[in-house]
Chains A and B, each alone.
Chain A
Amino acid sequence: DTEVTQTPKHLVMGMTNKKSLKCEQHMGHRAMYWYKQKAKKPPELMFVYSYEKLSINESVPSRFSPECPNSSLLNLHLHALQPEDSALYLCASSQEPTGIGNTIYFGEGSWLTVV
């Protein structure tokens, strides 16, 4: 079963709010990812966690703060966002952070609207 679960599915927040997106996988995967996807565009990598440690930050603004509480959970804390941050936020996971044929599985995403 290749399932990455994301909550909430939809989120509307004001520019002064603090909210969090949550992601969970029970496949024993040791790498987890956050991607951002704007309409009609491909997903863009934001963060990579490898064995619960942040390994890649693609120069994401500090108003996005990732957290990996344990090997199954990944959070994205949001604070003081801008309207242009409105997008589909995708969580993904893979069995290992490197290695040939290492498939990356995506969740359904959280639709974020910043007003």
Chain B
Amino acid sequence: QQQVKQSPQSLIVQKGGISIINCAYENTAFDYFPWYQQFPGKGPALLIAIRPDVSEKKEGRFTISFNKSAKQFSLHIMDSQPGDSATYFCAALMTGGGNKLTFGTGTQLKVEL
């Protein structure tokens, strides 16, 4: 019930292409869904986040799509750039449950020239 499943484990995209990472959850008590970007040797940095009452949120080239009924959400990176090469973690939070982030397993994205 606490798991967040993330796919794919790794992804290679050509420069200018669209990167898509998918996550699914079971626990309907989750009420906040952030995405974190992590470069090698660095801590995770918040990229974008969404609440379940919103179906889509866009910030620059990054878009979260959220399907509450299917309990799925995804990150789309438009016009992918080599600088986007990093590990991406989806996460879920029960904000009334001690702010315990449940992370997905991570996706290693490589954007090739």
Contact = CB atoms under 8 A, between A and B. Distances in A.
B100 A45 contact: yes
Interface string A20-44: 0000000000010100000011110
Given A42-B103, A42-B104, A102 B46 contact: no
Where chain B touches its partner, the secondary structure class is: loop
Contacts, number: 71
A21 to B, nearest CB: 13
A103 B44 contact: no
A56 B98 contact: yes
Contacts of A90: 43-44
Given A42-B105, A101-B49, A102-B32, A31 B99 contact: yes
Which of B43, B49, B106, B108: most chain A CB closer than 10 A? Answer: B43
Contacts of A6: 43
Nearest to B101: A104
B103 A104 contact: no
Given A42-B104, A104-B34, 13 more contacts: A2-B46, A4-B43, A42-B106, A43-B101, A45-B101, A48-B99, A97-B99, A100-B31, A101-B49, A101-B51, A104-B93, A106-B45, A109-B43
